[in-house]
């Protein structure tokens, strides 16, 4: 199975940990590769079908939640020839032929001014939040009641923003910090939109056997309007659990990249580049989990 780890098209706009974005004038072409990152480091190996899952699942959620919050999606690229016919002349002076790999793993999006905050909504106590709670009895500036168990559901979802670092690690910020960065009104609007998306997705996914324990979203501005950008409710940006096996008090079986994180921690890696190569069984298990998350949520095979 072929992996897409790198792209090389004209007019590179931004190369992220997973997505490569290209300038198309008044819009962008965003390509989801098969790269995988953990602890803010890109691993030297990829995950088969990962980019297709991320692109298709983001598109699915953007369409599902458009009635709640507008987003940057204009077109999903299902056919490279269609992209050539419609956009080939927009990427350079002479006609350009897009490679076949853009199909299914890319989308045309609106340009937006990115708001440099990662908006993390947590419905369950897990991951770094669980570690912080055990140490401090709080998550960021949110103090929680004593005696909560690992993976326990919060009475109400909580909002725990972080910085959006261009390089290195994202750092937690308080709501007061966020207000200082983007203003009180904008902060209130983004918190409300983040909560609305999470609550909708939580209910939708639960009906399909998946618990969305937490997720992170990004927002941008188009003509002063706040819209969703980047990806939405994917196994890269969310913690997906199998509802049939959920039990508070322990880690949960997941459909995201948690097995990758677990293996890396057990390997003794110090979380600094370079990252080790994942063993074949971890790569295969992770690919299966991504595809299964897509199948359950959309009702379709990837």
- In angstroms, the Cα distances linking 185 to 98, 222, 268 are 42, 17, 44
Is residue 26 predicted with pLDDT exceeding 60? yes
Average pLDDT, the chain: 93
DSSP 41: E
Of 4, 95, 36, 20, which Cα lies nearest the Cα of 263? 36
Torsion-angle region of residue 218: left (phi > 0), alpha (psi -120 to 50) or beta? beta
pLDDT digits (tens, 9 = 90+) for 120-160: 999 999 999 999 999 999 999 999 999 999 999 999 999 99
CB 282 within 8 A of CB 260: yes
> What was the pLDDT predicted at 156?
96
Query: In Å, how far from its chain's centre is CA 38?
Result: 12
Calculate Rg over the CA atoms of the chain: 19
Domains and CATH numbers, the chain: 12-111 (3.30.200.20), 114-263 (3.30.470.20)
CB 71 within 8 A of CB 231: no
CA distance 268 to 275: 11
Is residue 93 predicted with pLDDT exceeding 50? no
Q: Which residues is 238 bridged to in the sheet? A: 215
Is residue 234 predicted with pLDDT exceeding 90? yes
pTM, 2 dp: 0.94
Q: What are phi and psi of 17, to 5 degrees?
A: -65, -35
């Amino acid at each position: 199975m072929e992996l897409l780890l790198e792209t090389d098209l004209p007019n590179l706009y931004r190369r992220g940990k997973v997505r490569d974005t290209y300038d198309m004038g008044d819009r962008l072409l965003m390509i989801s590769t098969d790269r995988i990152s953990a602890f803010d480091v890109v691993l030297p190996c990829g995950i088969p079908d990962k980019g297709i899952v991320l692109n298709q699942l983001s598109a699915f959620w953007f369409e599902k939640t458009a009635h709640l919050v507008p987003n940057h999606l204009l077109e999903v690229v299902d056919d490279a020839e269609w992209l050539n016919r419609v956009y080939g002349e927009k990427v350079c002076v002479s006609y350009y032929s897009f490679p076949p790999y853009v199909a299914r793993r890319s989308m045309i999006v609106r340009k937006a001014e990115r708001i440099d905050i990662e908006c993390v909504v947590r419905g369950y106590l897990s991951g770094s939040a669980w570690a912080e709670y055990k140490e401090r009895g709080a998550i960021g500036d949110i103090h929680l009641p004593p005696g909560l168990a690992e993976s326990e559901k919060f009475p109400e979802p909580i909002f725990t923003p972080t910085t959006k670092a261009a390089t290195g690690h994202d750092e937690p910020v308080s709501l007061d910090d966020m207000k200082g960065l983007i203003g009180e009104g904008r902060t209130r609007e983004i918190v409300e939109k983040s909560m609305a998306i999470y609550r909708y997705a939580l209910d939708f996914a639960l009906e399909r056997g998946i618990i969305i324990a937490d997720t992170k979203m990004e927002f941008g501005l188009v003509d002063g309007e706040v819209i969703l950008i980047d990806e939405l409710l994917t196994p890269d940006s969310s913690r997906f659990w199998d509802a049939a096996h959920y039990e508070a008090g322990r880690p949960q079986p997941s459909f995201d990249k948690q097995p990758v994180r677990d293996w890396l921690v057990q390997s003794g890696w110090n979380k600094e580049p370079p990252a080790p190569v994942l063993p074949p069984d971890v790569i295969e298990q992770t690919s299966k989990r991504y595809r299964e998350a897509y199948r359950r949520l959309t009702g379709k095979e990837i």
